[in-house]
Amino acid sequence: MITPRYRHHFHLLPPAGWLNDPNGSCWWGDRCHIFFQYAPDSPHGSGSKCWGHYTSRDLIRWDYEGIAVAPDSPYDCSGAYSGTAYTGSGSLELFYTGNVKHPGNYDYINEGRGHNVLYLKSADGLSFSPKEVLLTNEDYPAAMSCHVRDPKVWQADGCCYLLLGARTRDSQAALLLYRSSDRKHWTLARDIRPEAPFGYMLECPDYFSCGESEVLAFCPQGIPQGTEKFQNIYSSGYLILPEGALTDAPSDTLNKCLLPDRFQEWDQGFDFYAPQTFSLPDGRRVLIGWAGVPDAPYDNLPAVAEGWQHSLTLLRELTVTPDRILQYPIRELEALRQAPVSCPLEKQTVLTPGFSFDLELERRTALAQQAFTLRFSSDLVLTFAEGMLSLRFLNNTGRGRTIRHGVCPQVRELRILMDASLLEIYVNRGALVFTTRWYPENARGVLLASDGGFTGTLWPMADSIRCDAPLPHNG
């Protein structure tokens, strides 16, 4: 047994094995439900995926509830892949992709794979009905490849909608929108093809309305990487569209709106993908994402050595403005703060009491456009100059992570949440966010130093996760 040094204290993570996309995220009944893609037997993600399950009544303390959806039918025998929750009927209803890889000499892109939409429901949020098959490959347009997945379901104006990410047989990105009156029988309403090149696949779609706007989010694959945008191998972001654009506007109008230069990324860091959004009982819209990226050219071997890999981000409250969406940790997180520690970085370096903390920094308005460097020990630096914020690793504590940039006219304040080996940095109350894994080797804490005139407060953080599953063993 290896003593886990890098396991998180207030981010949701697998009891053991592998985690990726959040699934079925919702508030239903008297609690929040966060399901997730889970391979419990291997930190490398091998084996068929199932759905793990966390719940919370207060968004502070989280209980692991075990495996909710297993790949135990002919229609999901190769994995219970990503999906959504619908809570408007009195039951908790789940829709997900059942993955089937047929034996044979197939490419599993255009041939040899079944991607089915499966349905099940629960009266208590813990036990579920038998599975029903709603859509199979035969229900998708003939131009689609075998990559059609990740249903998002919602209701608007008395009609239910189901949105799927897709890849055409000639490797063009697409979305498929279905309509239904009963959430069981679905009719194709739109085959959405962006007019501008948007990679070869749009996966993990999401949708929500906000006043006179609506937000369409997805994860494009196959877009060339850039130095300021699309820096990761796969991206994750959103488009702010006029009200009714997705469901009611003419198809050519919608297709013209789907432009990469209008696409805004959720996070500029190394480790963010496949987010889901949902509403809390008080009306707040919140987001949670996977603190990882598929097929990344960097690794998490220190965590793998402890028998686990990957986690989810914090829940982030969303504020939609005319030109962007602000993201900020939900206010409930402050209940985990312990006794505050002054952090006068404008005068001295500060050694943090451990590796689990919430740090708020600010500087005078007159300094907001002034360049600065913020050092995290000798491992990592956050620099700002000429309207560009950059996060750079200086050694291999980033496990192959190098540098990421974000356009930012000024920096007035920072909020930095460190959780053993996961760092979330919120700039100007969430106008820009960086999420990254980091494996510091110093056993004492993080030595913070800056020339930016920052001062603030640091709070060590309490644990928030209750899990009766066995601790991970060396993987």
Annotated catalytic sites, by residue?
21
What is the spatial distance between Cα 98 and Cα 133, in angstroms, rounded to a whole number?
9
Helix (H) or strand (E) run with residue 134 in it:
strand 132-135
Q: How many residues does the chain have?
A: 475
- How many Cβ atoms are within 10 Å of 265's Cβ, its own excluded? 18
What is the spatial distance between Cα 422 and Cα 267, in angstroms, rounded to a whole number?
14
Q: Record the tokens describing residue 273, joined without a space.
A: 């993908």
Burial (Cβ within 10 Å: 0-12, 13-18, ≥19) of residue 286: buried
Cα-Cα-Cα-Cα dihedral sign, residues 152, 436, 441, 363: negative
Residues sharing a CB contact under 8 Å with residue 136, sequence separation 6 or more, in sequence order: 75, 114, 116, 117
Cα-Cα-Cα-Cα dihedral sign, residues 159, 99, 308, 424: negative
- How many Cβ atoms are within 10 Å of 161's Cβ, its own excluded? 21
Q: Which of 432, 386, 391, 390 is nearest to 409 (CA)?
A: 386
Helix (H, G, I), strand (E, B) or coil at 203: strand
54 in Cβ contact with 15 (< 8 Å): no
50 in Cβ contact with 66 (< 8 Å): no
In the block, tokens 């906000």 appear at 210
Contacts 24+ apart (CB under 8 A), 138-144: 139/186, 139/188, 140/164, 140/166, 140/176, 141/176, 141/188, 141/191, 143/168, 143/169, 143/170, 143/191, 144/168, 144/169, 144/174, 144/176
B/e letters for 207-241, b = 16+ CB within 10 Å, e = fewer, are: bbbeeeebbbbbbbbbbeeeeebbbbebbbbbbbb
Q: Are strands 403-407 and 159-168 parallel, antiparallel or unpaired?
A: unpaired
